[in-house]
């Protein structure tokens, strides 16, 4: 599912807490974005059409909840990034990050743990 950066910000709010009204989302995003209520309604409509969220009538308003789970979206985005930039290979991704910034001891240990798990899982 292709979700724009703006739509992803709305989704992050719904993943954080739901169900939420358009007004609740606008309030949560007001410090990050200077969006009008109409903009958030448009983004929610797009997300509804994509099947990423669902809406439930609550009196005169709608309450929105995510259908798309964050973990599923992150997995798809990560896979897409690795495919586009590194030909589907994870090693060049890790090499790129380690060459552009120093990995902390905790990050190095986490990578070693992932490698150990992969080795024992196969």
- Residue pLDDT, tens place only, 72-107: 999 888 888 888 888 888 888 888 878 888 888 998
The share of the chain scoring above pLDDT 70, in percent, equals: 99
What's the whole-number mean pLDDT along residues 67-71? Answer: 95
Task: Evaluate whether 89 touches 82 at the Cβ level (below 8 Å).
Answer: yes
Domain 5-66 has CATH 1.10.10.10: yes
Q: Which of 93, 95, 97 is nearest to 85 (CA)?
A: 93
Instruction: Report residue 122's pLDDT band, with 50, 70 and 90 as the boundaries.
Output: low
φ, ψ for residue 54, nearest 5 deg: -125, 155
Where are the alpha helices (H) located in 18-104, listed in sequence order? 22-29, 37-50, 70-86, 90-100
Q: Domain residue spans in the chain?
A: 5-66, 89-122
Confidence check: pLDDT of 39 > 90: yes
> How much is the pLDDT for 79?
86
Contacts of 62 (CB under 8 A, 6+ apart): 21, 22, 55, 56
Most confident of 3-7, 102-106, 117-121: 3-7
């Amino acid at each position: 599912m292709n979700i724009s950066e703006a739509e992803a910000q709305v989704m992050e709010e719904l993943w954080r807490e739901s169900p939420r009204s358009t007004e609740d989302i606008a309030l949560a995003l007001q410090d990050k974005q200077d969006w009008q209520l109409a903009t958030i309604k448009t983004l929610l409509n797009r997300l509804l059409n994509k099947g990423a969220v669902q809406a439930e009538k609550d009196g005169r308003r709608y309450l929105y909840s995510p259908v798309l789970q964050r973990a599923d979206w992150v997995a798809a985005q990560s896979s897409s990034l690795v495919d586009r930039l590194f030909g589907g290979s994870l090693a060049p991704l890790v090499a790129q990050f380690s060459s552009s910034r120093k990995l902390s001891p905790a990050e190095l240990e986490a990578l070693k743990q992932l490698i150990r798990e992969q080795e024992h899982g196969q």
